[in-house]
Amino acid sequence: MSSDSPQESTAQKIAARELQKKTEQQAKDRERCDKYVRNGLHRNVTVQFLLERLIQLGCPPPPGLIRCVDCGDKPAAGGFGVVEEVQTAPTMQQRDGSDSTTTRKKGNCFQTQKEIDSLLADHRDGKIKIKLLPEIFLCQQHLRDETHAHEAMVHELIHAVDMCRTKMEPMTNCIHMACTEIRAENLSGECSWIRELGGGRMSSFAGHGAKCVKRRAALSVKANPNCSDKAEEYVEAAFERCYKDTFPFDRHPNLR
């Protein structure tokens, strides 16, 4: 005989139904996001242009560069990079004469904020060195529509271009991070006047783009524990030069 009470049995059934609903919704979100990515790769001229420029710059995108993932409660449309850890503190084997460094790469394309914070803390303590690897993820449950998904793809591809053409270290150099975020916000279309007006964030047409870029870039920089305390200052310091930088476009894409 089962020892479960009627109340426990009912609670288990409810939990099972909720889990099934969540699993079904995740599958729908993933299917929708994968479709957006395919359409972006095959139809969106800006996405295609950026991928071609990465090849021309000597950084051919690896298979599966852009992936859809379940980001949980993380309030973002997507993200860039997987942190590669290079261990510098000697292990027991290293004391016995083996190689002094080892490298470990995260196996999935999405890292939690807790994992990233831990790696950054170890880096600050001198235990490891870290490097950002070019991988792009889209948060499948937070994409409003295909336009939103393609803007997120362009945003993250701008980061990939920046990582390819320079020796920037956005995880540890806050000015570097501010610059690439300014460029990505500016060139992706995420600060278009239509979006700002629809979101009720535009009080006037004059200067709305710069204000939006600063606001959104500062939010991204704040997400980096190394830079959160002075995010606005880093954005201001990098803004004039990086806002004008439209590479690899010859002019701002919205003006083409």
- Catalytic center residues: 156
Own/partner long-range contacts of 209-216 (Cβ < 8 Å, ≥24 apart):
210/239, 210/243, 212/185, 213/182, 213/185, 213/186, 213/239, 213/243, 214/182, 214/239, 216/181, 216/185, 216/190, 216/191
The three-class DSSP label of residue 117 is: helix
What is the CB neighbour count within 10 angstroms for residue 65?
Answer: 20
As a whole number of angstroms, the distance between CA 116 and CA 204 comes to 38
Cα–chain center distance at 117: 15
The three-class DSSP label of residue 211 is: helix
Question: Amino acid identity, residue 74?
Answer: K
